[in-house]
Amino acid sequence: TRIRNLQDLDENVDEEDWDRCFNMNVKSHLFLMHAARPHLDEAEGAFITTASLAGVKVSGSSMAYAVTKAAQIHLVKALAMAAGPRIRVNSVSPGLLLTDWGLQFSEEQREAMREKTRLKRLPTVDDVADQVLCFAKSRSVTGANVVIDGGLSL
pLDDT band per the 50, 70, 90 thresholds, residue 66: very high
pLDDT band per the 50, 70, 90 thresholds, residue 1: low
Catalytic residue among 59, 62, 65, 91: 65
Q: What is the mean pLDDT of residues 79-97?
A: 97
pLDDT in tens, 110-152: 999 999 999 999 999 999 999 999 999 999 999 999 999 999 9
Tell me the domains of the chain and their CATH numbers: 10-148 (3.40.50.720)
Given a cut of 80, whether residue 7 has pLDDT beyond it is no
- Mean pLDDT score across all residues of the chain: 94
Q: What is the mean pLDDT of residues 95-101?
A: 90
Which strand (E) or helix (H) includes residue 35? Answer: helix 28-43
Catalytic residue among 62, 69, 91, 93: 69
| Residue at 45: amino acid letter | G
- Angle ∠(125,129,130) on CA atoms, nearest 5: 120
Catalytic residue among 52, 62, 91, 93: 52
pLDDT band per the 50, 70, 90 thresholds, residue 2: low
Least trusted range by pLDDT, from 24-38, 47-61, 70-84: 47-61
The span from the CA of 134 to the CA of 154, in Å, is 22
Neighbour tally for 148: CB within 10 Å: 19
The answer to whether the beta carbons of residues 48 and 129 sit under 8 Å apart is no
What percent of the chain has a predicted confidence (pLDDT) above 70? 98
Q: Is 52 a catalytic residue?
A: yes
pLDDT at 79: 99
Could you tell me what percentage of the chain is helix, strand and coil, using 3-state DSSP and rounding each to the nearest 5? Answer: 55, 10, 35
| Residue at 64: amino acid letter | A
Q: Is 91 a catalytic residue?
A: no
The dihedral of CA 38, 87, 21, 108: what is its sign?
negative
The answer to whether the beta carbons of residues 146 and 93 sit under 8 Å apart is yes
Residue 50 DSSP SS3: strand
Q: Is 65 a catalytic residue?
A: yes
